[in-house]
Chain A
C-alpha cells in the first residue's frame, strides 16, 4: 500500500504539470481541449477497474461467505461511482466547449449514465435490507449480475453505432495518435496514477468502515 501511495503522488504531480505544459498535437475543433484526455479518460479506466474489483470481491463473498469481501466489494463500488461521476462532469465541461452543449444523445454518454444508475440501484438495494448476512448475499448477487451487463453497455454497444465521441464513427480518437507518442507519455502515467489514487481512497474508506464497525 505504501508504494501505491508514493506512486500515486508522483504520477499525479507529473500528470498535472506535464499534462498542462507539454506540447500536444493541434487538431481541428479539439485544439487545446485535447488535454482533457489526461483527466477524463483515466476516470473511466479507474471506474471500470474499481467496479471490476468490486464485483470480483462480491463473487468471492458469495462463494466463501467471508464478510470482509462483502465490505471490500461495497467500498470499491462506492469509490468507483465517485470516479464515474467525476468522469461525467469532466466530460460535460469538455463537451460544452467542443460540441456546444453539456449533454447530447450519444451512445457513450447514455451508456455511462445508465451504468451509474445500475450502481445507484445497488446502493438502494443494500440499504433496504436490514439483516446483515442477507444484505451481503443479495447485493453481491446483484453486483455480479449488474457488472456483467455494464460491459456490453460501455464496451460493445457504443461500437456498433456512430457517435460524436472521439474514437467513434470516424472522429479522431486515441488510435489516430499512434504515430504521435506525445500524448502517450502523459496518458499512461495518468491512468496508473488515478488507479492508484482510487485504491488509496478505497483503503482509507475501508479502514474508517472497520473502525465504525468495531
Chain B
C-alpha cells in the first residue's frame, strides 16, 4: 500500500514538473495578492498584528483553494479508469492528502516569507508560529481534499468548490487566527492548550471522514 501511495506521489510530482505553469501560477497568485496588499497599505505599512494575522490567513485560504482545486482535475478521464482497476480508494485519497499537504506547506511558507519581506512581522515565538503553520497547512489540506473531490464530479466547479469549502473551513480558520494572534503577543502554553487539542481533534475527524466518504464518492 505504501509503495503504491509513493508511486502516485512520484507521478504527481512528475506531472507537476512537466506542467510547471500550474505550479508557478499558484505562486504568482500569492505574490500578486501580497503585492496588492503591500501597495494598499503603503504610506505606513501594517501597524497592528490583528490586520497582519487576518490578511495572512485570508491569502493562504484563497491560494490554497486554487491550489487544491486543481489536484483532481489534472487527472484525465482515462487515467481515472486506470486507477479504478489498480488502486483502492484509500490509497488514492491518502496520496492526494499528502500531496495537497506538501503543496499547501509550500504556499504557506511562500506567503510567510513574502509577508516578512514586504510587510514585516509581529511574531514573538517563531518555533510556535512555524509549527502552527505546519498544523494549519495540514488542517486546510484535510478539509479541502474531499471538497475538491466533490467538485471534480460536478460541472461549473471552480465556483462551487469555493462556495462549499468556505463554510466548512471556517471553524479551522477561526482557531488558526486565534492562535496566531496569541503567538504575536505574549505566548504561553496555558493560553493555547484547549485550542491546540481542538485543532488536533478536528484533524482526526476530517481525515477519518475523508477516508470513509471518498470510497463512496469514487465508486461509479
A: residues with CB less than 8 A from B are 62-63, 114-115, 117-118, 121, 124-125, 128-129, 134, 137-138, 140-142, 144-146, 148-149, 152-153, 156-157, 160
Contacts and interface: CB of A to CB of B under 8 A. Distances in A.
Contact of B154 (A129, A145, A152): A129
A138 B167 contact: no
Given A128-B155, A142-B150, A121 B217 contact: no
Nearest to A113: B167
Given A138-B153, A145-B146, A157-B174, A63 B167 contact: no
Given A121-B166, A141-B146, 14 more contacts: A62-B213, A121-B164, A124-B163, A125-B164, A128-B154, A129-B154, A142-B164, A145-B146, A145-B168, A149-B167, A152-B171, A152-B202, A153-B171, A160-B198
Contact of A138 (B150, B168, B175): B150
> Which applies to chain B's interface (DSSP): helix, strand, loop or mixed?
helix
| Chain B contact patch, size range | 20 to 34
A144 B146 CA distance: 12
A129 B170 CA distance: 25
**A contact face: mostly helix, strand, loop, or mixed:** helix
Contacts of A125: 150, 154, 160, 163-164
Given A137-B216, A141-B216, A160-B195, A149 B163 contact: no
A145 B160 CA distance: 16
B47 interface: no
Interface in B189-220: 194-195, 198, 202, 205, 209-210, 213, 216-217
B163 A160 contact: no
For the complex of A and B, the 9 pairs showing the least CB-CB separation, nearest first, are: A118-B167, A117-B167, A62-B216, A141-B213, A149-B168, A153-B171, A121-B164, A121-B163, A141-B217
B48 interface: no
